[in-house]
């Protein structure tokens, strides 16, 4: 447990020193503010090119559209920020030989991986919470129609947190298999975005972690049950594989 605490603290300090929190905050929170404003401004931007009567039909956005737009950007861009923030956390320490000293002092490898995983999870969940509630505030402020309820925001938050469990675990897995953070990032992106591809097949859709993103529209936990279980199961497998890979890594 001492290793876990020490590494959790170390990751926190490194997050500040390496500007990881700035990256996460930008990737997750920024779009929560930008999206509702841009959506609101869109009719004004296109008003010269489209007849006025069509603008109202084409661009009649509701509060839930602002939330849906934010979640879409979160998946497309926010995920990239999360992946590239976490991508170097194992390989950089191994190949720059910074990990050798704590290990020779008897640090537990599995606790190091768990501390890194939980640190990223806590950070991402925190920024997601802030982002979703900011988005709710702006969406309710700028758009007409039924307001987004707090309970809906919490359910969306819950689904997104589970999805990011998967994203962080797969990023750490690739980080333990590659030498450079950019390769780990590219592989993790490919794996995460391929889950969206999997969702194109109706029969496979409910098993795909990406289904959690899709279900944020309906906000029904019953429908998300299978995807949640599969995602948690995959996360555990990836974590165990990462720990086992980390245990077998030859350190100079």
Partner 1 sequence: MLGNMDIEEMLKLLTPVIVLQFVLMIFCLVKLKNDKVKYLPKWTWALIIIIFNFVGPIVYLLLGRERD
Closest CB to partner 1 among residues 17, 203: 17
Contact present, 143 and 66 (Cβ < 8 Å): yes
Q: Which residue has the tokens 């969306």?
A: 156
In the complex, least distance from residue 18 CB atom to partner 1, rounded to whole angstroms = 7
Q: How far apart are CA 235 and CA 214, in angstroms?
A: 19
Closest CB to partner 1 among residues 12, 207: 12
In the complex, least distance from residue 108 CB atom to partner 1, rounded to whole angstroms = 24
Contact present, 94 and 184 (Cβ < 8 Å): no
Rounded to 5 degrees, what angle do the CA atoms 15, 17, 20 make? 40
In the complex, least distance from residue 128 CB atom to partner 1, rounded to whole angstroms = 17
146: its two tokens: 């039924």
Closest CB to partner 1 among residues 158, 174: 174
In the complex, least distance from residue 197 CB atom to partner 1, rounded to whole angstroms = 23
Contact present, 159 and 216 (Cβ < 8 Å): yes
Q: If DSSP codes are grouped into helix, strand and coil, which group holds residue 106?
A: coil
* List of residues contacting partner 1 (CB under 8 A): 17-20, 22-23, 26-27, 30, 33-34, 37, 40-41, 44, 77, 81, 84-85, 92, 96, 141-142, 144, 181-182
Cα-trace Rg, the chain:
20
Closest CB to partner 1 among residues 61, 158: 61
Closest CB to partner 1 among residues 4, 137: 137
In the complex, least distance from residue 144 CB atom to partner 1, rounded to whole angstroms = 6
């Amino acid at each position: 447990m001492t290793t876990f605490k020490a590494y959790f603290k170390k990751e926190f300090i490194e997050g500040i020193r390496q500007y990881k929190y700035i990256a996460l905050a930008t990737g997750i929170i920024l779009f929560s503010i930008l999206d509702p404003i841009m959506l609101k401004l869109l009719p004004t931007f296109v008003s010269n090119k489209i007849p006025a009567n069509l603008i109202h039909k084409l661009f009649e956005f509701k509060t839930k559209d602002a939330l849906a737009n934010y979640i879409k950007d979160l998946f497309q861009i926010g995920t990239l920020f999360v992946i590239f923030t976490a991508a170097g956390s194992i390989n950089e320490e191994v190949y720059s030989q910074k990990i050798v000293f704590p290990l020779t002092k008897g640090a537990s490898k599995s606790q190091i991986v768990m501390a890194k995983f939980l640190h990223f999870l806590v950070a991402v969940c925190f920024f997601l919470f802030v982002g979703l509630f900011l988005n709710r505030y702006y969406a309710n402020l700028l758009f007409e129609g039924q307001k987004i309820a707090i309970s809906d925001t919490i359910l969306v938050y819950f689904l997104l947190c589970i999805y990011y469990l998967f994203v962080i675990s797969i990023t750490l897995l690739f980080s333990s298999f590659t030498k450079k953070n950019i390769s780990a990032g590219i592989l993790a992106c490919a794996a995460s975005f391929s889950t969206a591809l999997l969702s194109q097949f109706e029969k496979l859709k409910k098993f795909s972690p990406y289904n959690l993103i899709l279900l944020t529209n309906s906000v029904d936990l019953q429908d998300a049950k299978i995807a949640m279980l599969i995602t948690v199961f995959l996360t555990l497998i990836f974590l165990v594989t990462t720990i086992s890979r980390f245990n077998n890594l030859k350190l100079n």
